[in-house]
Amino acid sequence: MTLALDAAAQDLLFREARTANTFTDEPVSDEQVQAIYDLVKYGPTAFNQQPLRIVLVRSEEGRERLLQHLAEGNRAKTAAAPLVAILAQDNEFHEELPSQLPHFPQAKDMFFSERSVRESSATLNGALQAAYFIIGVRAAGLAAGPMTGYDPAGLNKEFFADGEHSVLAVVNIGKPGDDAWFDRSPRLAYDQVVTTV
């Protein structure tokens, strides 16, 4: 059975995709990021909730604020990346539901009145949107270097002091540089993952 995507697209989005560790100095424009978002915003989520929030770190001051909260092994590559995106979840995403789910506006209060329920849902659906974003970066012909090696409490305090947002990932973005990739790590086989009942 063949897939709908041609082999080149499959390679670009999945088979050849790696976490980039070095980048060229070619800039990533706001227009590129907008094109990525305008593509990936259509990825499905529960109740059409859209908890993903993106902070683009472009300034030196913003970069310094970010670097102090990263694991030591992530600092140099993040300092050198043309663009860094902090991906976060909006734990108050339910406020947008009446406009984003117009056929069922009561979902806001019916399902998401409790903060703990919203946070759990925002984590799952925000992570889905983060994955779509990473694939969108690849679709734009750029490399993504997603990381979770950071101090989440420190990043939340630094960039999301309102308490309404929580960091999900930090993603370096740009054209891959020299020796950008580690060797491909093994993947589980189909029979190790899939069962039929």
Q: Could you identify the residue written with the tokens 């980048």?
A: 23
CA 11 – CA 7 distance, rounded (Å): 6
What's the mean pLDDT in 141-156?
96
- Provide the angle, in degrees to the nearest 10, between the axes of the packed helices 30-40 and 115-139: 120
pTM of the model: 0.94
What is the band of 179 on the pLDDT scale with cuts at 50, 70, 90? Answer: confident
CA 137 – CA 133 distance, rounded (Å): 6
175 contact partners, CB below 8 Å, separation of at least 6: 23, 24, 26, 82, 142, 143
CA 26 – CA 46 distance, rounded (Å): 37
State yes or no: pLDDT of 157 exceeds 80: yes
